[in-house]
Each structure stands twice: as structure tokens, then as C-alpha cells.
Amino acid sequence: MPGKINHQRRQLMLGAAALSAGVLPAAPSVAAAADPLKVGLIVPMSGPFASTGRQIEAAVKLYRQQNGASVAGRQVEIILKDDGGVAPDVTKRLAQELVSREKVQVLAGFGLTPLAFAAAPVATQAKVPMIVMAAATSVIPQRSPYIVRTGFTLAQVTAPMAQWAARNKIRNVVTLVSDYGPGLDAEKVFVKDFGEGGGKVADSLRAPLRNPDYAPFLARVKDLKPDALFVFVPSGEGAAVLKQFTERGLAAAGIRLICTGDVLDDDLMASIGPAAAGVVSSHHYSAAHPSPENKAYVEAFSKANQGMRPNFHSVGAYDGMHLLYQALRQTKGDSNGDKLLAAMKGMAWTSVRGPVSIDAASRDIVQTVYIRKAEASGGSFYNIEFDQVDKVRDPGA
Ligand code: PHB
């Protein structure tokens, strides 16, 4: 791999081609434009949410392999930092160091909501775009005018699930969510939309984010015996919930499981196995999405990563890179934060997930939300889309 690698500081530069001094133009403005553009990519590469970091890193690498390491005359250097996924103060310190010492002009990544919250003031102070690729609480872009989101929001994917359940003879539901930002958003939107559709939420349960034990919550659900249990847990946690749901006999007792696609994460489907069979979920991305763009993406991703299946966080990252490259083309390589933000607002493109755009006012992503059913296909389980709601905005929570 070409480029500088600084092992001591545990940072990894992905394919940054060294600039030859001989080709630097003399005029200062052009010379400035020829400086590499540094992107500080902060994700959990270790700890309980390491799969999010792995997916994001793989997607960013793939995007650069396919689209080149430079755009509009600027080399794009990626400086990857592992924040461990659980400590907001670590994420904040990394963001500060990237901006002040490494002189990054863009921040990106952010695996969980508390970590995006922690970095937001750094982006505001430094006036650098902050591309939120994974964290999904509605309020995040309001924490800094420099935030743009390319992933999704829980409120956005939960509303179609609640409406689908109400239309499909599910009358009585218990909700179970992780007790923090995205979970509270999902709970609020589900209770509202399912209630408006004529359904009744018998109880709303919240499991801790750290070291959760789902057993007491599932015991309560079994006692209440609703038609369905609605679940949101963040990417990485779904296998534990599904395993216990089956082991504790909820499925056998006739209780249906419905959930957001975070629970049936493509990265986890192999470990979930047959426990996923028939589960209906809603989300903005499935590796089984039947478009030519997605088929090519899944194949290239798998080939570049020893057979790994891309999940929704990878797509947030892949589209985050696309947004940055397109914005840089529009600014003709100028990395001024305000100019990049102006270029990003309102941008629209065909993602591997379907058509997407960045709402100019909220800086949040507008996209199709799919209703899917988990089915065996080619020896493993996939979320097969069978219904969709187009151009879904974050409804707020
Ligand atoms: C979040 O912390 O915002 C988050 C993380 C993982 C998910 C969804 C939301 O799957």
C-alpha cells in the first residue's frame, strides 16, 4: 500500500499516495489545493461494537479502491482511530487531536450516539464537516451545524414498522429497546404510530446498553403474552436477543418478534441462523437488496474482505465517502468546511440501498425504508424486502 504509516500512534493511513514535490504547482492557491485532504475516521475497532468499525473501515477502503485516492486534484488521506466504542471522552479527545495536531479537514465515522454527541462541539469549533455514518438518534445533526448524516435514524426506520404491524392484524405489542438515545426514539415513535394505527402497547421495556441481560425482560414479555414483541438493540446485540427469545419459549408461546434491521444485522445473520426465520423487520438496507448497484457492491465487498457480508453501517460509510467526493468535485477541491457543507446540502444520488438525498435544512438523509422477512437463501439467512415506503424523512422523536 502506498503512503505513510505511523505505527507508533496506532494510526492507519489507507492508501495515501505520497505527493511528489516535483509536481507541486508554484501558485499558492493552487499549491494549497494540491495539499492532501485529511479525513479523521473515528470508529470502534475494538470492544463490543468492533463489528461497526470493521464494516466502516472495509467500506471506506473499497470506495477508495473503486474511485481513486484523489478527487478534484486533492489526495484524500484517511486517518483511522479506534475509540473503543464505549467512552465519549475518548472520542472527544481523538477528535480534538485529529483537528489540532493532524490538521484533518473532515471528521467521519461515529459508531454510537454518545460518541457523536461528544465530537459535535469539536466540529463546530474547528468548522470541519462531521459525517455521521452510523449513530442514529434523531437529534444528532442539531448538535452541530457541521454535521451531515449518511446512515439513518431509528425514528425513520421504526415508523414504517409500526404502521405495517397495525395494518397486519397485530393488535397488542410490548416494546423492548436499549435504554439510550436511539432506543428511546424507537420506543416513542413505535408507541405513537402503532397507537394511531389502532394498536395497543401493553408495556415498554428498556434494557441497559452495557452488559445487558435480556432474560428478565423476556420473562415479563412471556407473562404479558402480546401478539408481538417489537425490539431495537444496536448492531452487534441482535444474536443474543434472538437466541434468548427462542430458548425462553416466546416463539413457542405464539409471540411474534418484529424489529428494526439493527437486530437482524447482515453481519450477524450467520451467527443468528435459523432463529431469524420468518422474522419481519424494517430497515434502509439489506445485503439482499435486488438492485444491480447492490449486487456489485456485495460482491466487491465480499471479495475484498474474505467473504464478509456488508451491513447497513458499511453502506452509511460508503455513501459518506461518496458525499465527500461529490462535494469536493463541486468545490473544485476546496476543503473549506462551510463550502463543503453547502455542497453536501441537498445532494442526491443512487445508493446501493436505493435513492437517497441529504435534506438541505436538517442535513439528515432521506431514503426508502423496506419491510423485510428473514428467509434462507443459498445456505444462509437474508432479509428479503417485500414492501417499501419511499422518501422517508426523519420524523423526529
Ligand atoms: C447509535 O448508538 O446511535 C446506534 C448504534 C448502532 C445501531 C443503531 C444506533 O445499530
CATH of the domain at 247: 3.40.50.2300
Domain contains 18: no
Q: Give this prediction's pTM.
A: 0.92
Domain contains 309: yes
- Name the band, by pLDDT with cuts 50, 70 and 90, for residue 16: very low
Which value, in Å, is the radius of gyration of the alpha carbons in the chain?
21
190 & 226 share domain: yes
| CA 313 / ligand 1 centre spacing (Å) | 9
Domain contains 123: yes
Those residues whose C-beta lies under 8 Å from the C-beta of residue 93, and which sit 6 or more positions away, are none
| CA 319 / ligand 1 centre spacing (Å) | 17
| Ligand 1 atom index nearest CA of 180 | 2
185 & 297 share domain: no
Take atom 7 of ligand 1 and give the residue whose Cα is closest. Answer: 234
Domain contains 72: yes
- What's the pLDDT score for residue 64? 98
33/316: higher pLDDT: 316
Take atom 6 of ligand 1 and give the residue whose Cα is closest. Answer: 234
Residue 275 DSSP code: G
Q: Are 341 and 130 in contact (CB under 8 A)?
A: no
- What's the pLDDT score for residue 17? 33
Tell me the mean pLDDT in the region 94-114.
Answer: 98
Take atom 2 of ligand 1 and give the residue whose Cα is closest. Answer: 112
| CA 389 / ligand 1 centre spacing (Å) | 21
141 & 195 share domain: no
Domain coverage including residue 49: 32-152+291-363
Judged against a pLDDT cut of 50, whether residue 9 lies above it is answered with no
Domain contains 59: yes
- What's the pLDDT score for residue 397? 74
241 & 298 share domain: no
| CA 230 / ligand 1 centre spacing (Å) | 16
Residue carrying the nine cell digits 459508531:
111
Domain contains 10: no
Residue carrying the nine cell digits 436511539:
182
Q: What is the mean pLDDT of the chain?
A: 92
253 & 377 share domain: yes
| CA 114 / ligand 1 centre spacing (Å) | 10
204 & 66 share domain: no
Integer Cα distance of 51 and 45 in angstroms: 7
Domain contains 137: yes
Tell me the mean pLDDT in the region 47-58.
Answer: 97
How far the first Cα of the chain sits from its last, in Å, is: 44
224 & 353 share domain: no
Among residues 198, 138, 136, the alpha carbon closest in space to that of 173 is found at: 198
DSSP lists the bridge partners of residue 367 as 356, 392
- What's the pLDDT score for residue 140? 98
Poorest-pLDDT segment among 26-35, 72-81, 96-105, 297-306: 26-35
| Ligand 1 atom index nearest CA of 114 | 2
133 & 70 share domain: yes
- Name the band, by pLDDT with cuts 50, 70 and 90, for residue 378: confident
- What's the pLDDT score for residue 396? 87
164/11: higher pLDDT: 164
User: Residue 159: enclosing H or E segment and its boundaries?
Assistant: helix 154-167
Judged against a pLDDT cut of 70, whether residue 34 lies above it is answered with no
Integer Cα distance of 24 and 100 in angstroms: 25
Poorest-pLDDT segment among 33-37, 124-128, 180-184, 193-197: 33-37
| Ligand 1 atom index nearest CA of 181 | 3
Longest distance between any two alpha carbons in the chain, whole Å: 75
- Name the band, by pLDDT with cuts 50, 70 and 90, for residue 32: low
25/352: higher pLDDT: 352
Task: List phi, psi (to 5°) of 226.
Answer: -75, 170
269 & 184 share domain: yes
Share of the chain above pLDDT 90, in %: 89
Take atom 9 of ligand 1 and give the residue whose Cα is closest. Answer: 136
Poorest-pLDDT segment among 10-14, 80-84, 130-134, 284-288: 10-14
Domain contains 63: yes
Distances, alpha carbon 377 to alpha carbons 103, 146, 273, 340, 388, in Å: 47, 42, 12, 42, 21
186 & 302 share domain: no
Q: Ligand 1 test: best mutation among 235, 267, 284, 365, most atoms within 8 Å of CB?
A: 235
Pocket of ligand 1 (CB under 6 A): 112-113, 134-137, 181-182, 234-235, 262
Q: Based on the structure, what is the number of domains in the chain?
A: 2
Judged against a pLDDT cut of 80, whether residue 19 lies above it is answered with no
218 & 345 share domain: no
80 & 142 share domain: yes
Q: Are 77 and 39 in contact (CB under 8 A)?
A: yes
| Ligand 1 atom index nearest CA of 262 | 10
